[in-house]
Amino acid sequence: MTSFQEMLVPVRLTKWMLPPADHNGSVKTPGEAAPLQGNHLSITTDDGAVLAAVLEGDGPLVVLSHCWTGSHAIWAPVAERLVGSGYRVLSYDQRGHGASTVGAGGLSIRRIGADLASVLQALDAKEAIVAGHSLGGMAIQAMALHHPDCISKHVREVFLVATAAYGIGMNRLRKLVTPVIGSALLERVMGGRLGHLLVRGALGSNARQTDLVNTWDHFIACKPHVRSTILAAMQMMDLRDLKSIDVPVTVVHGTRDLLTPPSRGRELAGRLGAELVWIEGAGHMLPLEAPGEIAELIGRSAR
């Protein structure tokens, strides 16, 4: 069964997959979009975690929740399009990621769902459109399961992007790979030029070099213990008790996603009664690989 472990297996070796020799590993976004530079906010949760967020633009509110080992910058290509089209966009760093702290409650899927509830409450959001990529989609599901009042009070529509409710990494390699993800050995390998090859499986068949570099940069910037702890939490996760969400839901999935296989997207859409949208040839990193399609879907909803 395909899983997060497959991010460590290169799909195809091509010359462009190697970074420039002088690449320094700083977190970047594709040249077409930079991280939002609007109002910087700090949102403190009930266990003392401080979540770093950026709010920019005017119009209907869109809240973007990012993936495992990512940051709010992963959403930059989508956020730029939405702000340019007349939306107010907030993106934030998940606890332990980017500029956000962990807090006394530690790292778990349930806690990350509670963080999203805290973000919406802090904004006093009204009819927000909420989109979550990968771990961000799990945050939405956990919030809907454990804090359903936040959905009814703050949210008008949900987008679950390249995510799943269960079955992440449930195979024989799990006990081996989880500690490796946070090991010093992986740090050394990922820090070399061949490190890019190890994240190639996160992207689809037509991935750009900038997207590959961006994914790698974020992976090595994420603290090792955060990587391994969140991966273990995703492996243990089962959110299938969530049978519905009381607002319209759209599931967006790449047909070449190796990290959260298409079968997980089908299962999620079927159980929640959601619209299912396929991005042909795309992999797991849809905010980078298909920002135009995602921004259009969100914009269609707002209109």
pLDDT at position 198, please? Answer: 66
Residue 129 pLDDT > 60 = yes
Measured between alpha carbons, how far is 279 from 111 in angstroms, rounded to an integer? 30
Instruction: Retrieve residue 6's tokens.
Output: 């497959």
For 139, 142, 169, 235, 261, the CA distances from 166, given in Å and listed in that order, are 13, 12, 9, 7, 11
Q: Taking residues 34-39, report their average pLDDT.
A: 67
pLDDT at 256 over 90: yes
At 267, which helix (H) or strand (E)? helix 262-272
| 112 Cβ contact list (under 8 Å, min separation 6) | 94, 95, 135, 138, 139, 142
Which of 48, 58, 23 is CA-nearest to residue 195? 23
CA distance linking residue 43 with residue 94, whole number of Å: 11
Q: Do 196 and 213 meet the contact criterion of CB atoms below 8 Å apart?
A: yes
What tokens does 96 get? 């332990």
Q: Are 65 and 131 in contact (CB under 8 A)?
A: yes
Looking at residue 206, its pLDDT comes to 84
Asked if residue 75 has pLDDT above 60, the reply is yes
pLDDT at 205: 86
**90 phi and psi angles, rounded to 5 deg:** -115, 130
Counting residues of the chain whose pLDDT is more than 90, the rounded percentage is 67
Residue 229 has pLDDT above 60, yes or no: yes
Most confident of 3-7, 145-149, 189-193: 145-149
